[in-house]
Amino acid sequence: MERYLTNFDTGTMPTEHYDAVIIGSGIAGVYTALQMEREVKIAIVTKETLEISNSVLAQGGIAVSLDKEDSPAYHFKDTLYAGAGLCDEQTVWALVNEAAENIGILCRYGVNFDRSENHQLALSREAAHSKNRIIHTGDATGKEVCDTLIAAVLKYPNVKIHERTFAIDIVTQDNQCRGLLVYDEDSKEKRFLASDAVICASGGYGQLYHYTTNPPVATGDGAALAHRAGCKLMDLEFVQFHPTVLFHPQNRSFLISEAVRGEGAILLNSNGERFMPGYHPMAELAPRDVVSRAIFEEIQKNETTHVFLDISHKDTEYLRNRFPNIYKTCLGYGIDITKDRIPVAPAEHYCMGGIQTDAWGRTGVEGFYACGEAACNGIHGANRLASNSLLEGLVFGKRIAQEVSRNVFEREAKAVTQPRTLIFQKTSGEPLKNTASLKAQIRKLMTNNVGIIRNEEKLQKAMTRILEIKEQIQGREYSDIEQWELINMVALSEMVIKSALLRTESRGAHYRTDYPQTDDIHWKKNTIL
């Protein structure tokens, strides 16, 4: 692939100047903007509208050790256990020790977390947590936090929002970030957002799969543009499939929160038999990768399409109040969770891999940072612990904000050399066609061959076809968002498959039937491309 996806000339194209540019309007992106100094001039670029992000869909909550019987040390231990030996201890310590401070900031912004009878934050439990430490707002925590943060950032005069704007590429000069090349979908024009600091909080690459809880915008654009700029990508093979996603003819992407199992729901196969105790001592509260594989095996063994989640034994009024969104949504499909079993099956949910960063969000390109699901700083290892994702965006968004603010003030204190005009001209070939069809082929290919259960035969089959598609689209003319997304999806698919082929063991969310054992001697290490 060429260095950039499209031609540009920063000397002649519309240009805006900022101290910092943020890609993404989820919790990681918006919170990073809010934590910067008010004097810092910021642009937030979002592919759709502000309200569309993966964060909005997060139901369960945010993990934080607040109970007197809990501590950051316990949270640290649980995170490492779920991560199956690949967590970076330095970044995990930062996560668990800075959690309470950032939750306090959310409360001051006015996030309306559920409270107990003594007005303390209500704490629930989710899979693989040893203590009750999940704070929540019903079953729509992500939306409540996003709505509150977006309302706050809209009042900040130093922040400009660019909605329906696609991040094409970061522009670099001598391995230094110089800004972001974007496409405005409404005006149909390319622009250059000049800045020495770009923060990628664009989310993951869930749209590589046919069934995913992710919104349509999650096509891996951030990881792809980072890789083109020379950044390393890490642990792409670790793709988390959420065990309990609604299985209904009209909806295969609605998440049935982990918190439902945390409140006592049990999993039943098509014969009405509870099966999780036979797979793991923690039963329904085992790590997500274990539960997803168990459901997958039960589906195959019984030649069915789904299993059932049953919480009908709990009090009706309690369920309506604790899970109002799940209750209402399921009822819309004729399923009353207070009486009926919920049909569920696994679907792609979260990408542990992404742009390699350090504990301060820095990448291999000076001035380019990443946080949230777009980043891979080693927190999640081979399998993310439930409700650590929103927390990660907060903790490392704040850290990046501190670093960028400091750098901005240091630059202002001394003369800064303006970058020269930057130009890229590629040879244009025939226009790229059949974009939607090729995207659909990729999703089907990845779902069938690079999903919950993998082996070399399936992975090689996927790689062969991806390389054929890559050959088919190379050298063409790319001129719209659909085409740029396709290029990114092909690049990410190839690298996910390559990482999965390289890791000849099973660990966390990466399970290979031809290498079913965990191999600490050779593979207790990260996969870096």
And the tokens for 125? 């439990």
Pairwise CA distance, residues 511 & 254, whole Å: 24
Residues 212, 54, 335, 132, CA torsion sign? positive
Q: Show Cβ contacts of residue 518 under 8 Å, excluding neighbours closer than 6 positions.
A: 84, 85, 505, 506, 507
Angle between helix axes 141-153 and 99-109 (nearest 10 degrees) is: 70
Q: Encode 452-477: b = buried (16+ Cβ within 10 Å), e = exposed.
A: bebbeebbebbbebbeebeeebeeee
Contact (Cβ atoms closer than 8 angstroms) between residue 371 and residue 199: yes
Residue located via tokens 């809209």: 154
- Structure tokens that stand for 249 in this block: 């003819």
Backbone angles phi, psi at 80, to 5 degrees: -65, -35
Which of these, 48, 222, 216, 189, lies nearest to 479 by C-alpha position?
189
- Looking only at the bridges linking them, the beta strands covering 165-173 and 176-184 are antiparallel
Q: How far is CA 356 from CA 317, 364, 370, 489, 497, in A?
A: 46, 8, 8, 18, 18
Query: Helix (H, G, I), strand (E, B), or coil: what is residue 168?
Result: strand
SS3 63: strand
Q: CA-CA distances (angstroms) from residue 135 to 93, 140, 192, 327? A: 19, 11, 40, 19
The answer to whether residues 145 and 31 touch, using CB atoms and an 8 Å cutoff, is no
* CA–CA dist 423, 127 (Å, integer): 51
Please provide residue 121's backbone torsions phi and psi, each rounded to the nearest 5 degrees: -60, 130
- In DSSP terms, which residues pair with 248 in a beta bridge? 251
Rounded CA separation 159/82 (Å): 37
Q: Is 172 helix (H, G, I), strand (E, B) or coil?
A: strand
Beta bridge partners of 8: 424
Residue 301 buriedness (CB in 10 A; 0-12 / 13-18 / 19+): exposed
Helix (H, G, I), strand (E, B) or coil at 39: coil
C-alpha distances out from residue 205 to 133, 175, 231, 236, 395, Å: 28, 25, 17, 10, 22
Nearest partner of 284 among 303, 305, 263, judged by Cα: 263
Query: Which residues are catalytically annotated?
Result: 288
